[in-house]
Amino acid sequence: MPRGNRTVTKFILLGFTTDPVMQLVLFAAFLIMYVLTVAGNATLIVLIFYTPKILAICISNDKSISFAGCLAQFFFSAGLDYTECYLLAAMAYDRYVAISKPLLYSQAMSIKLGVFLVIASYLGGFINSSIITKKTFSFDFCNDNVIDDFFCDLLPLVKLACGRKEGYQALMYFLLSSNVITPIALILASYLFIIATILRIHSTQGRLKAFSTCSSHLVSVTLYYGSILYIYSRPQTSYSLDTDKIVSTFYTVVFPMLNPLIYSLRNKDVKGALNKLFK
């Protein structure tokens, strides 16, 4: 597309490579990951039905996405990412109640409270997504339209935007604080209480059992928040889209595939059902 002072109506996703063989390899790898994700998360079936863009750009010559499609992808991706941050914090509270107040668990973590935490997580996630989406797509994209990534992500889009970007960095830090730093602080507070409770348990077996209850959640928290903080908490001068592309692949593709394994295989009922199935 020739450069000039024109309004961009679509973007070009470069993906990972232009090598046809590697495109097929990547297509197969991502396809397997998405199939495994669907197996553990039935809610993603609808997304697979409409073919995620990451699969399309791996094998198709048409790597374009419409402006409206890019906006929608950005909005839902950010909303679900922010929601995951809140849900992980809610799960930390659940682990705290289960270990610190096991006799009161059914009352402290009632179904009503669980439903409220889920609704509040989704509401908070998509409210914040609305804010960042409105701000990001209010910029003019008047020259280049090639996104050096496999989906419409924040940093590549901001890099393409032209015009004044005053206040945008402050908004990013605010969203990072409200959606990542605050949930992390709540999670750390919950685990401080959990550790204090575990240290009061006299038997080694009891301590191991209590720690085992939290291990799955700790793995998810470390992987998910670690990748997000790596990408979005660094100064602009240290951004590397090639590195960020790889890291974002983990929290958008790999971690959703691993979550069912991380959580389900720690559940006795799931283990029992799998044993019956294979027998």
Residue for token digits 């079936």? 45
3-state secondary structure of 178: helix
Identify each DSSP E strand in the chain by its residue range. Answer: 10-13, 64-66, 146-147
Task: Check whether 216 has a pLDDT greater than 60.
Answer: yes
Q: DSSP string covering 109-139, please? A: T-HHHHHHHHHHHHHHHHHHHHHHHHHHTTS
Structure tokens at 34: 């998405």
Task: Check whether 91 has a pLDDT greater than 70.
Answer: yes
Share above pLDDT 90 across residues of the chain, in percent, rounded to a whole number: 5
Q: Mean pLDDT, to the nearest integer, of 220-228?
A: 82
Residue 268's pLDDT band (cuts 50, 70, 90):
low
Q: Mean pLDDT, to the nearest integer, of 192-201?
A: 86
Task: Check whether 130 has a pLDDT greater than 80.
Answer: yes
CA–CA separation, 48 vs 37, rounded Å? Answer: 10
3-state secondary structure of 65: strand
Q: Mean pLDDT, to the nearest integer, of 156-165?
A: 77
pLDDT score, position 224: 82
Residue 41's pLDDT band (cuts 50, 70, 90):
low
pLDDT score, position 107: 84
Helix (H) / strand (E) element for 153: namely none
Q: Mean pLDDT, to the nearest integer, of 54-64?
A: 71
Which tens digits make up the pLDDT trace of 240-261? 666 777 777 777 777 777 766 6
Q: Which candidate, 49, 56, 66, 50, places its Cα nearest to that of 30?
A: 56
Structure tokens at 182: 């605050």
Neighbour tally for 53: CB within 10 Å = 20
CA–CA separation, 230 vs 239, rounded Å? Answer: 10
CA–CA separation, 77 vs 253, rounded Å? Answer: 12
* Amino acid, single-letter form, for residue 144: D
Residue 30's pLDDT band (cuts 50, 70, 90):
confident
Q: Mean pLDDT, to the nearest integer, of 2-16?
A: 72
Distance from chain centroid for Cα 231: 12
Neighbour tally for 93: CB within 10 Å = 18
Structure tokens at 189: 């507070």
Q: Mean pLDDT, to the nearest integer, of 176-188?
A: 87
pLDDT score, position 127: 92
3-state secondary structure of 262: helix
Which domains are present in the chain? 10-278 (1.20.1070.10)
> If you compute the radius of gyration of the chain from its CA atoms, what whole number of angstroms results?
21
User: DSSP class of residue 151?
Assistant: S
pLDDT score, position 47: 45
Neighbour tally for 165: CB within 10 Å = 11
Task: Check whether 15 has a pLDDT greater than 60.
Answer: yes
Task: Check whether 145 has a pLDDT greater than 60.
Answer: yes
CA–CA separation, 109 vs 98, rounded Å? Answer: 9
- Three-state SS for 236-277 is HHHCCHHHHHHHHHHHHHHHHHHHHHHHHCCCHHHHHHHHHH
Task: Check whether 265 has a pLDDT greater than 50.
Answer: yes
pLDDT score, position 44: 45
Share above pLDDT 70 across residues of the chain, in percent, rounded to a whole number: 76
